[in-house]
Structure 1
Amino acid sequence: MGWLSKIFKGSGHKVSGRQYDWRHGTDTVENEPSSSGAIMDARSEIEDIDRAIAISLSEADQPRKNVIDNDFQLKEDEQLARAIQESLNVESPPRYGSGNIYQPIPLSYSTGFRICAGCRAEIGHGRFLNCMGAVWHPECFRCHACNQPISEFEFSMSGNYPYHKSCYKEHYHPQCDVCKHFIPTNAAGLIEYRAHPFWAQKYCPFHEHDGTPRCCSCERMEPRDTRYVALDDGRKVCLECLDSVIMDTNGCQPLYLDILEFYEGLNMKVEQQVPLLLVERQALNEAMDGEKNGHHHMPETRGLCLSEEQTVSTILKRPRIGSGNRAMDMITEPYKLTRRCDVTAILILYGLPRLLTGSILAHEMMHAWLRLRGYRTLSQDVEEGICQVLAHMWLETQIASMSGSNVASTSSSSSSSSSFTSSKRGARSPFDRKLGEFFKHQIESDTSPVYGHGFRAGNMAVLKYGLPRTLDHIRLTGSFPY
């Protein structure tokens, strides 16, 4: 046998080549072996052979002993290997969608001491899942949304919680606020949607081109399950804005007095009585065309300060809301403007919420104040900019007044007299404050060179030097102080 020959060779080399000197305790090498040394060598060689045979028999017996001792462990290892091989042979289902998708690893048998991460009980023999860095009973691995076991090959995760893919989509896939459907993916497989910069209303991109109407005041799109109120000129008003709209000239008079009081509080009292009229869009456009020295106006004109004598059609009686959420039976009458001073009237578009109507009125009142005080012709950005500053200041006072006692309006949004009564009592709905913040945001974020840049330059001057000094500088130089 090979291993025996190696032992023999080594033993022979060791025995024949080296001896132990008991007198000095060192190994010595003899140059010439003696006869007595040969006898001792023969005896030592026989002893070495016996020792080698005993060692070899002991080593041969050791693996067999280990096999017997570890027989149970080997059986379990074979079972585990067979289970893993079977799980690898199972064809994985096709993947679809994107996101945090994971595949639990099913095992048929457990080995050792394992604790289920769901019920915290020991997992005995049988099937279990190995996923999310833990092991689970199949019935304990449940969806965080519906609390039902997850039996599919794939699941989604949010944070440290597992979800069915369908439940994950229901909770986390964005839905369109207009059509109420899940927002589809684009050609690149990404979820693409539009969102209003202030209201955060999410909607499918194609709604911008499919004729979906917007509220004429808050700009939110009309949801499919809600009907906005249609005005005679084609504009639509959402039900929240409708709760505070001003629909006729008489209904606007309390707000007009509030604006006059606001100006008087700034030591900018308007001495002349300037008529205020609520008009339709067509009448507003016709009056704007009749102005000889017209000022710069936005594409959607909602207010106008007139200086010429002309006849305009004003709304005498507010319309009622009829079937199909349409404004009906509005009564108008002609109103002849007489020039008694540099300002003949202020016209405001009807059908706008109180806060928007008030900010427009504050803006146009500043035009009137500048003309009545003899300010020379100003550049568009300076005049429109300082008028926007006054509108912004008025909105701030209204929002501040609602911060302390925000009384919810109990009037119905479909009631024809709710807006006038609410404004007269000073009651405000919870939506009013948000609406005021939106109108203020519109002024602040306007990107137009005249209204937007003009406001920011004027507001910076007022914040730095105060309103009186800014107005004095405008009178002298025709520009904002820097």
Structure 2
Amino acid sequence: MGCFSCFKPSSRHDSSEQDPIKTAIEISRYEEEDRTVRQKIEEEEQIKRAMEKSLEVAEQKEESKEKGKRKQVEDDDDQVGDKAQIKNSKDRDVNPSPSICNGCKSAIKDGISANAFGAVWHPQCLCCLHCLKPIAMHEISNSKGQFHKPCYKEHRNRNCYVCDNKIPITEKGREYKEHPFWKEKYCPCHEFDGTAKCCSCERLESCGTKYVMLADERWLCRQCMECAVMDTDECQPLHIEVQQMVTSVTKGPRMGPNKQLIIDTVTESHRVSRKCEVTAILILYGLPRFLTGYILAHEMMHAWLRLNGYRNLNMVLEEGLCQMLGHMWLEPQIYATPDAADPSSASSSSSSRTPLAATTSKKLGDQSDFEKRLVEFCKHQIETDESPVYGDGFRKVKKMMLSNHDSLKDTLKDIVTASKSAPPGSKF
């Protein structure tokens, strides 16, 4: 008797035998992809390292080449470089008048000049591009350019002013930020990493220094702190000094009852029923003396205009005029002498139309190099201001002053005329 089975043979393979194969294939594929990615990353890192190495080698070669050149010409430079590059001359036939200084762009009137780098300079205007101090005749050489010898090396190294580390090299070379006036170079990251910034001179806190935080969370550097005006009592002598300057400057428009400018002012004042009063001028405390004086001069000019009936001036021209008064006050501060600190001498000279040589405080006789630079900084801020009101206004009024031979009376008359043809709030 034969046997048979009621079960059919299965045609399906066991899934437990197939899953490991799929898994192995997947793992192999993932490993291959991962290996490809890691290989690509490693190649990119090698390229980056090679690029950095190439930049370093190129820099070393350039420095070595520069050293070789310096070694060849340095001895000759010290002996004859000055004769070849610079010569002082009082002979007007050698330097025909007028010669224009390449530094300040003004005429060299006294005939004393320095001929260097294909241009003519006042000796005090030929300054090092690194430290910004004058370069003596024996300190210039062909190989180093417009630098003191020690400054040249420091300039080449380009360490960060803030952290004192060497500014890192990127694919684009050395990238750094530079203050437009102080010319201090620093890593771009310090503009966003919380580094303290002086509210007066705008310099960042450098390595090894400590800035002071005021009660309103403004920062002051130590140098600005030393000459800061901290309260009303300290400001009082400065207030009197600036007031004398503004009063003497504005005396011009009051002279001559038959002048058109005075007639217009009187007519307007009769038409206005209310009396205009200025009771106070508010200024932030903690600013250096020169910056405080500039702000006082600016605000006092606003007050003078209001008190004398000028209420409908074009906004741009009015702000420009006030900026001009602040600039006029700053101008003589660089050259002020200790004698100017005597209030009695100031009052006796205020009537003699020398108002711009403003009186100075008792500190001015001991004025530091930094304070003189701070005056230049304040002037630079006014002159280079890009705002459409204060900056453009200053430049427009300065142009008016030049066309009126620095006469504030005639300039104010032009501003009144121009304001009548343009709305007071317009940008002119």
Q: Compute the TM-score of the two structures, normalised by the length of structure 1.
A: 0.47
Task: Please identify runs of 4+ aligned residues in structure 1 that moved more than 6 A.
Answer: 168-171, 403-406, 479-482
- CA displacement at 1:404 relative to structure 2: 10
CA separation of 1:266 and 1:159: change in aligned 2, threshold 3 A: closer
> Is 2:331 the counterpart of 1:396?
yes
Aligned to 1:370: 305
Aligned to 1:448: 387
- CA displacement at 1:185 relative to structure 2: 1.0
The structure with the larger Rg is 1
CA separation of 1:426 and 1:174: change in aligned 2, threshold 3 A: closer
Stretches of structure 2 that go unaligned for 5 or more consecutive residues are 1-52, 72-141, 145-151, 255-273, 342-359, 423-427
The C-alpha deviation readout for 1:398-453, integer Å capped at 9, x for no partner, is: 223259999xxxxxxxxxxxxxxx93353322211110000000000000000000
> How far, CA to CA, are the matches of 2:233 and 2:410 in structure 1?
36
Percent identity between the aligned chains?
Answer: 48
Aligned to 1:473: 414
Aligned counterparts, 1:267-278, within 5 A? 267-268=250-251
CA separation of 1:373 and 1:182: change in aligned 2, threshold 3 A: same
Please say if residues 382 and 479 of structure 1, whose CA atoms lie closer than 8 Å, have aligned partners that are also in contact.
no
Aligned to 1:433: 372
Aligned to 2:189: 206
Bigger fraction of residues in strand: 1
CA separation of 1:240 and 1:170: change in aligned 2, threshold 3 A: closer
The C-alpha deviation readout for 1:357-395, integer Å capped at 9, x for no partner, is: 000000000000000010132222111111001000010
The C-alpha deviation readout for 1:52-72, integer Å capped at 9, x for no partner, is: xxxxxxxxxxxxxxxxxxxxx
Aligned to 2:242: 259
Aligned to 2:221: 238
Out of 419, 423, 445, the residue aligned to residue 361 of structure 2 is 423
Letter paired with 2:395:
R
> How far, CA to CA, are the matches of 1:183 and 1:344 in structure 2?
52
Please say if residues 244 and 423 of structure 1, whose CA atoms lie closer than 8 Å, have aligned partners that are also in contact.
no
Aligned to 1:185: 169
CA separation of 1:404 and 1:178: change in aligned 2, threshold 3 A: farther
Letter paired with 1:176:
C
- Helix, strand or coil for the counterpart of 2:169? coil
The C-alpha deviation readout for 1:192-220, integer Å capped at 9, x for no partner, is: 11110100111001111111111110000
Aligned to 2:356: none
- CA displacement at 1:225 relative to structure 2: 1.2
> How far, CA to CA, are the matches of 1:467 and 1:341 in structure 2?
23
Aligned to 1:24: none
Aligned to 1:226: 209
Stretches of structure 1 that go unaligned for 5 or more consecutive residues are 1-93, 105-130, 135-157, 161-167, 272-338, 407-421
> Is 2:344 the counterpart of 1:344?
no
Please say if residues 336 and 364 of structure 2, whose CA atoms lie closer than 8 Å, have aligned partners that are also in contact.
no
Aligned length: 250
> How far, CA to CA, are the matches of 1:380 and 1:441 in structure 2?
22
Letter paired with 2:58:
S
Please say if residues 354 and 423 of structure 1, whose CA atoms lie closer than 8 Å, have aligned partners that are also in contact.
no
Please say if residues 245 and 352 of structure 1, whose CA atoms lie closer than 8 Å, have aligned partners that are also in contact.
yes
> How far, CA to CA, are the matches of 2:307 and 2:319 in structure 1?
16
> How far, CA to CA, are the matches of 1:360 and 1:103 in structure 2?
48
> How far, CA to CA, are the matches of 1:459 and 1:479 in structure 2?
20
> How far, CA to CA, are the matches of 1:480 and 1:463 in structure 2?
22
CA separation of 1:375 and 1:159: change in aligned 2, threshold 3 A: closer
Aligned to 1:462: 401
- Helix, strand or coil for the counterpart of 1:374? coil
- Helix, strand or coil for the counterpart of 2:411? helix
Bigger fraction of residues in helix: 2
Please say if residues 177 and 186 of structure 2, whose CA atoms lie closer than 8 Å, have aligned partners that are also in contact.
yes
Please say if residues 263 and 269 of structure 1, whose CA atoms lie closer than 8 Å, have aligned partners that are also in contact.
no
Aligned to 1:110: none
> How far, CA to CA, are the matches of 1:211 and 1:220 in structure 2?
13
Aligned to 2:19: none
CA separation of 1:405 and 1:394: change in aligned 2, threshold 3 A: closer
Letter paired with 1:471:
L
Please say if residues 376 and 475 of structure 1, whose CA atoms lie closer than 8 Å, have aligned partners that are also in contact.
no
Aligned to 1:385: 320
Letter paired with 1:343:
V
Letter paired with 1:353:
P
Please say if residues 196 and 202 of structure 1, whose CA atoms lie closer than 8 Å, have aligned partners that are also in contact.
yes
- CA displacement at 1:470 relative to structure 2: 0.9
Aligned counterparts, 1:50-89, within 5 A? none
> How far, CA to CA, are the matches of 1:98 and 1:479 in structure 2?
65
Aligned counterparts, 1:18-417, within 5 A? 96-99=56-59, 101=61, 159=143, 172-188=156-172, 190-268=173-251, 341-401=276-336
The C-alpha deviation readout for 1:169-193, integer Å capped at 9, x for no partner, is: 98722100100000001233x0111
Please say if residues 346 and 364 of structure 1, whose CA atoms lie closer than 8 Å, have aligned partners that are also in contact.
yes
Please say if residues 473 and 479 of structure 1, whose CA atoms lie closer than 8 Å, have aligned partners that are also in contact.
no
Letter paired with 1:475:
V
> How far, CA to CA, are the matches of 1:364 and 1:171 in structure 2?
41
> How far, CA to CA, are the matches of 1:267 and 1:375 in structure 2?
13
> How far, CA to CA, are the matches of 2:244 and 2:63 in structure 1?
69
Q: CA RMSD in A?
A: 3.6
Please say if residues 215 and 235 of structure 1, whose CA atoms lie closer than 8 Å, have aligned partners that are also in contact.
yes
The C-alpha deviation readout for 1:73-97, integer Å capped at 9, x for no partner, is: xxxxxxxxxxxxxxxxxxxxx8543
The C-alpha deviation readout for 1:239-262, integer Å capped at 9, x for no partner, is: 111111000011100000001110
Please say if residues 253 and 409 of structure 2, whose CA atoms lie closer than 8 Å, have aligned partners that are also in contact.
no
Letter paired with 1:101:
K
> How far, CA to CA, are the matches of 1:447 and 1:103 in structure 2?
39
